[in-house]
Amino acid sequence: MRLHVIGGLVILQIAWLPTLSLARSYNERFDEDLTLRSLPDGKLLAHFDFTTHVDATMAPGSQLLDYNLFPKVIGQVLQQYDVDEMHLTFSQGRWHYDHWGYPPEQSAGTGVELWAWMQNHTNIDARWHSLTNTLSGLFCASLNFIDETLTTQPALSFGPDDDATKSTSQLRFGYLPHENVCTENLTPWIKLLPCKAKSGIASLLNAHKIYNSYFHSMSIHAKRQCKDNQCTMELKQAVVSVMDPVRDTNRRDWSLEDVFARVPRGACPVADQSLIRVAVNDDAILSPEPTMKGKDFTMYDLKQVNDSLDIRMTWAEDTFHYPLASALPMISAHRYLTGHGQERGGIQVTLQNRHDAPVLIVYYDSIPWFLKLYLHTLDIQVVGDDDNAQHDIVEQMLYQPAVDRARPSMLECKLLLPARSTVTLSMDLDKVFLKYTEHRPDANRGFDIGPAVITAPVLNGIDNRTMRIYTDTLLVSLPTPDFSMPYNVITLTCTVIALFFGSIFNLLTRRFQVLKVEKE
């Protein structure tokens, strides 16, 4: 039995356990964190992080039936479809690596990304299809459009957190670059939190402010590991938003009230940890006094705050001067379309390594079936400070050709980028003539192509973690028929028929009589 106070309401929570589950033991933990960082161009980065962890001891092969902090709907999805790991991200906007550095979350591509490691059982494709349909209804998104034409099975990218998962599971990856993100996706996302948006850090998730930013992403990372009689489930929910205080006031000063139009009033009652971290800036004044101070961050513990907390950071300047120079990332990637016309073209990728040592990366790209790639036209050029730079940089390559209306093309390359070098990959392609029923309603706009993903090591010399770098999405113009012609034909035909039919019908039905006019 627990007593909670949420939003001024006293809630008595009683957990009833079945008689057969008395031998089981559960250990749950919920943490909420918010990290605020002022970016060099005056914008503010807000990173929300909510983590729910469950350790359960149960009989081998049994399912977790008692849920408290962990959302039951996510637990049932993981158990129903035998999912070991699931990663779902909704993003909108463009992440500027040249100005903001690397994002705090792995995924930063525009659109919706879904990939999952599913156990090696029969009908894995059917379970993947059911998973996308279930998540589509759960988050009010178009995830059901991730069919076989958008699904790939990467072998070198998107590895699991646990290496043992690779031997017992298979990976499925899907991307929707044209999917928009709105409050219909945020509302069910917030309902997965123990306190919803009633208290704690989640109360700052104001949809009007989040969706009025330059970039925002909303992600869910769920894991399930069961071994012997021990089962562990973890759910991480994250929101990343890049806001612009300078746009309204010409100053980079900010406060929680100005940025989110809300302030937190204490922590979530069931949270074990509730912290707001603010990046240290020597040129700014931070108020009120933080609870804890560190080397890079100052922290506020909401569990020690009984009243509303409005954090404010100010600079001693009248106006903000936009910096012309910015720190370029060590590894960057850009992808372009080449050629002209609506029949043929090409794709070109530029990879830059600004590090003083060679870097081993993995390049992943999925191209829809209506763009026919020619692998024999693949050309790799290396330009570096060292004239003796290694030009044979491809260590491993995996290519899956496309099948019309069945699967996309997939290219994975393990590349060794020389130090201080620029590597350019280019390929030719043809654009397919689609059936008129396969065009989108806005056919003349074009088709969106998902971003390429570069998996690179974190160059800090501390651990072996990896990061993912996303290129921009592409907009491809395919051979498009004149969809206005049917309208013109129908209009002209209807006009002719109306005039002809009206005249003939008038002549056939009208009675002509001689009218004699008598003189007075």
In a domain, 200, yes or no: yes
Residue from 194, 148, 220 nearest 13 by CA = 194
Best CA proximity match to 237, nearest among 470, 467, 32, 27: 32
184 is a domain residue: yes
Task: Kindly report the CATH number assigned to the domain that includes residue 454.
Answer: 2.60.40.740
Same domain, 82 and 211: yes
Q: Which two tokens stand for residue 383?
A: 């330009």
Residues 297 and 348 in one domain: no
Q: Give the residue from 345, 326, 348 showing the smallest Cα distance to 335.
A: 348
Q: 238 forms bridges with which residues in the sheet?
A: 49, 219
Banded model confidence at residue 23, pLDDT cuts 50, 70, 90: very low
> 64-77 burial, b if ≥16 CB within 10 A, otherwise e?
bebbebbbeebbeb
| One domain, residues 237 and 306 | yes
H/E stretch holding 429: strand 421-431
Q: Is residue 489 part of a domain?
A: no
Share of the chain above pLDDT 90, in %: 58
Q: What value does the mean pLDDT take over residues 420-438? A: 93
Top-confidence residue, 338 or 12: 338
Examine residue 496 and state whether it is found in any structural domain, yes or no.
no
User: Does residue 389 carry a pLDDT above 80?
Assistant: no
Q: Strand 169-176 relative to strand 151-152: parallel, antiparallel, unpaired?
A: antiparallel
Are 358 and 281 within one domain? Answer: no
Query: Looking at the structure, do residues 378 and 459 belong to the same domain, yes or no?
Result: yes
192 and 154 part of one domain: yes
Q: Do the domain assignments include residue 71?
A: yes
Residues 381 and 265 in one domain: no
Same domain? 374 vs 232: no
Is pLDDT larger for residue 118 or for residue 460?
118
Does some domain include residue 481?
no
Mean pLDDT of 163-187: 89
Burial of 419 (0-12, 13-18, 19+ CB in 10 A): middle
CA distance 354 to 329: 8
Domain count, the chain: 2
Would the pTM count as exceeding 0.85? yes
Q: Is residue 238 part of a domain?
A: yes
Pair 343, 286 in one domain: no
Q: Which of 476, 498, 515 is the last residue of a domain?
A: 476
Residue 348 has pLDDT above 80, yes or no: yes
- In the numeric block, which tokens belong to residue 181? 């993100």
Verify that 211 and 95 share a domain, yes or no. yes
The reply to whether 350 and 240 lie within a common domain is no
Helix axes 72-80, 124-138, angle to 10 degrees: 160
Give the pLDDT mean for 384-411.
85
Cβ-in-10-Å burial (0-12, 13-18, 19+) of 395 comes to exposed
Q: Are 456 and 361 in contact (CB under 8 A)?
A: yes
- Residue 444, domain extent: 331-476
Question: Would you tell me how many other CB atoms lie within 10 Å of the CB of residue 383?
Answer: 12
288 and 365 assigned to the same domain: no
Span 214-225, average pLDDT: 93
